[in-house]
Chain A
């Protein structure tokens, strides 16, 4: 076997062992070494040269990046996740024809969808979704993310929260927790508009806090304009668009003048 390939696979074994031990410092160190080594293989994207070991090299590189994505979730680094995911993506899209499908493919794609949802990058979420085939959409990992997005758009927030119990993969928990925070902000924004006031008990339940203490801290930090009085949270309603009392004369004059100018040009 190619000595370089042997070196990479040995290093990768050590990386995997460290990942199992949850020794993240060693993992990150080994990962950067691995990535440097991978640059020497010519069969990998973007070159895709036909070398004798191409299949083997592609498989191991894909495996490494898959683990890198999982690692980034474990160390809760979203930027690293994005970087690693983009490095991994060509292995699914462009090299897909040469390799047997990875069992990790759908969980990781679903994870990425979830990340986009958490970061509220809905346009990218849908762009990614278009790339998936009908069979991929049936996969529980992907379906989970797609259904979450739907509930989120509809406003059925308790469905989003209850989805945490049914995560298809352990790595999803991190993003689901982040999503819970986003959901709380959404609920707060909606309640503000929909209710005149709420009892503190109801508000606490709705915003998913276990104690009144936490609730009042949240209000102080995020929504200082809310008032708490007599066991009620009173929302300051935004000023209604009152019927117009005055004629916006200046604007009207400007508009009429511009019509006159244009008409003159036509005639």
Chain B
């Protein structure tokens, strides 16, 4: 299947004229024909490919190219056409007219396709957002969403899911995300009823993003836990979902699960999505610190991330040493970064981990130490540091952070000899969990291999297929009529 798609691609460069405008238009027309065949053959994959190709063209989109394409794809003078053209700035179009005229002769059959209409909406919307004309983008996207609600075609779903995304983006850019929450929920419901899984996936992410934008973690979690889940269709959406899930779990103190989600999101994200991966890494670093782990230095040295992760690197250092004073200075020094990353509250939680690490260092270094010295070393500045130190130590013992006992009468802490870990079953358990991880990874990789549907069958031509579909429809009609007769 991919073969014949690529074949269609090939002639395009040879036909192009030297100027940029027509070549982009040519590309758009190629994409349009891809959508057309996709729509007739009901092949969602072709449409998905069309969307991917469009994104590659994104930087080349110009008002003149767009209006020429609108003339090509939509009936000039129709309601959609006039509405969409109104968003485009008027430029001298005379050099495009020839092109539009030639296309008009060969395109009458296409005009009825709703896919084209939606695709044009998508193009104009992307163009408006790139031009930073957000208010018009909002109007355009709202119109497209209203149109989408009345369409129920599987081939539109891919285009629709992109539209939802830009719809939400245009509102986010103007800071009115709260306004569309109800609408998104309604769209999610519609997508669920139509079994549009890609749409559900996209809309669920948009809703989560919407809630998290306002720190509504409670609502986000309630929606997430109740929304239907299925195997992910789009890797990008799945990454986003994992990231949001990780954030929610972090806030709700489920650090182990949060770490898993965030690391998976960072790993699965495409290499080009640097900003997303930086965000994932920031959160993952904090979650690992909260879990009492110290992230490796390589995490902070990843290409292109050194600068963004610098505050988190220094923070990690402070936690690693267990120095409360250093921790405080770092937190203050970068407080602007932390509050713009909205990790400030998490950093406040870390204080307790700093104390724990400090305590662990003390417990390893000394076999017996007075509580006065513990308080001094931890730099606890409070009214009654010794009593504080005693209760902090006893809580750390109970939570298993250190292995020691406290002698209240003499006021000291006695560390226990650390036993030989290799005399226990621990290594065996760790080894087992690693093997299980590798085997699981292999199995998932096998499962993730994709095969195009029906690739083994003989390829039927578009003509034949249309004939066959017509026959099927007639057959269906007959059956329906017979049914009517019976009752």
Residues of chain A touching chain B, judged by Cβ–Cβ distance below 8 Å, are 122-124, 126-127, 129-131, 134, 146, 150, 153-159, 162, 186-187, 189-196, 198-199, 202, 241, 243-244, 248, 252, 255, 259, 262, 266
Instruction: Show 29 A/B contacts (Cβ-Cβ < 8 Å), sorted by A.
Output: A123-B251, A124-B218, A126-B253, A127-B218, A127-B251, A130-B215, A130-B251, A130-B345, A131-B216, A146-B348, A155-B393, A155-B396, A156-B391, A156-B392, A158-B384, A158-B387, A186-B395, A190-B395, A190-B398, A191-B394, A193-B397, A194-B393, A194-B397, A199-B409, A202-B409, A243-B424, A244-B423, A248-B425, A255-B432
From residue 392 to 444 of chain B, which have CB atoms closer than 8 A to chain A? Answer: 392-398, 404-409, 419-420, 423-425, 428, 432, 435, 439, 442-443
Known: A126-B253, A129-B345, A134-B339. A155 touches B383 (CB 8 A): no
Q: Report the minimal beta-carbon distance from B246 to chain A, rounded to whole angstroms.
A: 15
CA distance A162 to B383 in the complex (A): 10
Chain B residue nearest in CB terms to A125:
B253
CA distance A174 to B263 in the complex (A): 43
CA distance A16 to B42 in the complex (A): 68
CA distance A126 to B349 in the complex (A): 10
B217 within 8 A of A: yes
Q: A127-B251, A153-B349, A193-B397 are in contact. List 16 more A-B contacts (CB 8 A).
A: A123-B251, A126-B251, A126-B345, A127-B217, A130-B215, A146-B348, A150-B352, A153-B352, A154-B351, A155-B392, A156-B391, A159-B382, A190-B395, A190-B397, A244-B425, A262-B439
Known: A156-B392, A190-B395, A202-B408. A130 touches B351 (CB 8 A): no
Q: Report the minimal beta-carbon distance from A112 to chain B, rounded to whole angstroms.
A: 13
Chain A neighbourhood of B251, CB < 8 A: 123, 126-127, 130
Chain A neighbourhood of B380, CB < 8 A: 156
B355 within 8 A of A: yes
Chain B residue nearest in CB terms to A130:
B215
Q: Most B CB atoms within 10 A — which of A156, A162, A195, A266?
A: A156
Whether A244 and B408, one on each chain, are in contact in the complex, defined by CB atoms closer than 8 angstroms, is no
CA distance A88 to B393 in the complex (A): 41
Chain B residue nearest in CB terms to A199:
B409
Interface residues contributed by chain B, number (CB under 8 Å) = 46
Whether A195 and B406, one on each chain, are in contact in the complex, defined by CB atoms closer than 8 angstroms, is yes
CA distance A157 to B425 in the complex (A): 36
Chain B neighbourhood of A150, CB < 8 A: 348, 351-352
Chain B neighbourhood of A155, CB < 8 A: 391-396
Chain A residue nearest in CB terms to B351:
A150
Q: Tell me the dominant secondary structure on chain A's binding face.
A: helix
Chain B neighbourhood of A187, CB < 8 A: 391
Chain B neighbourhood of A243, CB < 8 A: 419-420, 423-424
B252 within 8 A of A: yes
Whether B424 and A195, one on each chain, are in contact in the complex, defined by CB atoms closer than 8 angstroms, is no
Whether A154 and B392, one on each chain, are in contact in the complex, defined by CB atoms closer than 8 angstroms, is yes
CA distance A173 to B252 in the complex (A): 27
B36 within 8 A of A: no
Chain B residue nearest in CB terms to A202:
B408
From residue 431 to 470 of chain B, which have CB atoms closer than 8 A to chain A? Answer: 432, 435, 439, 442-443
Chain A residue nearest in CB terms to B385:
A156
Q: Most B CB atoms within 10 A — which of A150, A154, A202?
A: A154
Whether A266 and B355, one on each chain, are in contact in the complex, defined by CB atoms closer than 8 angstroms, is no
Whether A190 and B351, one on each chain, are in contact in the complex, defined by CB atoms closer than 8 angstroms, is no
Residues of chain B touching chain A, judged by Cβ–Cβ distance below 8 Å, are 215-218, 251-254, 339, 345, 348-349, 351-352, 355, 380, 382-384, 387-388, 391-398, 404-409, 419-420, 423-425, 428, 432, 435, 439, 442-443
CA distance A262 to B438 in the complex (A): 11
Chain A neighbourhood of B428, CB < 8 A: 248, 252
CA distance A189 to B398 in the complex (A): 8
Chain A neighbourhood of B396, CB < 8 A: 155
Chain A neighbourhood of B425, CB < 8 A: 244, 248
CA distance A195 to B380 in the complex (A): 22
CA distance A195 to B392 in the complex (A): 13
CA distance A156 to B389 in the complex (A): 7
Whether A123 and B405, one on each chain, are in contact in the complex, defined by CB atoms closer than 8 angstroms, is no
Q: Report the minimal beta-carbon distance from B458 to chain A, rounded to whole angstroms.
A: 32
Which among B253, B395, B419, B443 is the interface contact of A122 at CB below 8 angstroms?
Answer: B253
Chain A neighbourhood of B339, CB < 8 A: 134
Chain A neighbourhood of B423, CB < 8 A: 243-244
Which among B345, B348, B349, B408 is the interface contact of A198 at CB below 8 angstroms?
Answer: B408
Chain B residue nearest in CB terms to A122:
B253
CA distance A202 to B387 in the complex (A): 12
CA distance A196 to B423 in the complex (A): 26
CA distance A187 to B391 in the complex (A): 8
CA distance A243 to B388 in the complex (A): 34
CA distance A38 to B5 in the complex (A): 64
Chain B neighbourhood of A123, CB < 8 A: 251-254
Chain B neighbourhood of A129, CB < 8 A: 345
A-B complex: 10 closest residue pairs judged by Cβ atoms = A155-B395, A194-B394, A243-B423, A123-B252, A190-B394, A193-B398, A130-B215, A194-B397, A155-B392, A190-B398
Chain B neighbourhood of A124, CB < 8 A: 218
Q: Most A CB atoms within 10 A — which of B339, B393, B398, B432?
A: B398
Chain B neighbourhood of A266, CB < 8 A: 442
Chain A neighbourhood of B392, CB < 8 A: 154-156
Chain A neighbourhood of B345, CB < 8 A: 126, 129-130
Q: Most A CB atoms within 10 A — which of B355, B391, B432, B435?
A: B391
Chain B neighbourhood of A130, CB < 8 A: 215, 217, 251, 345
Q: Most B CB atoms within 10 A — which of A150, A155, A189?
A: A155
Q: Report the minimal beta-carbon distance from B325 to chain A, rounded to whole angstroms.
A: 16
Whether B394 and A193, one on each chain, are in contact in the complex, defined by CB atoms closer than 8 angstroms, is yes
Chain B neighbourhood of A154, CB < 8 A: 351-352, 355, 392, 395
Chain A neighbourhood of B393, CB < 8 A: 155, 194
CA distance A252 to B442 in the complex (A): 22
Q: Report the minimal beta-carbon distance from A160 to chain B, rounded to whole angstroms.
A: 10
CA distance A127 to B425 in the complex (A): 38
CA distance A227 to B246 in the complex (A): 46
Chain A residue nearest in CB terms to B442:
A266
CA distance A187 to B388 in the complex (A): 12
Chain B neighbourhood of A198, CB < 8 A: 408
Q: Report the minimal beta-carbon distance from B437 to chain A, rounded to whole angstroms.
A: 12
Whether A194 and B406, one on each chain, are in contact in the complex, defined by CB atoms closer than 8 angstroms, is yes
Q: Most B CB atoms within 10 A — which of A146, A191, A259?
A: A191
Chain A residue nearest in CB terms to B419:
A243
CA distance A187 to B253 in the complex (A): 22
Chain A neighbourhood of B217, CB < 8 A: 127, 130
CA distance A187 to B218 in the complex (A): 31
Chain B neighbourhood of A162, CB < 8 A: 383
Q: Report the minimal beta-carbon distance from A3 to chain B, rounded to whole angstroms.
A: 33
Known: A154-B352, A155-B391. A259 touches B435 (CB 8 A): yes
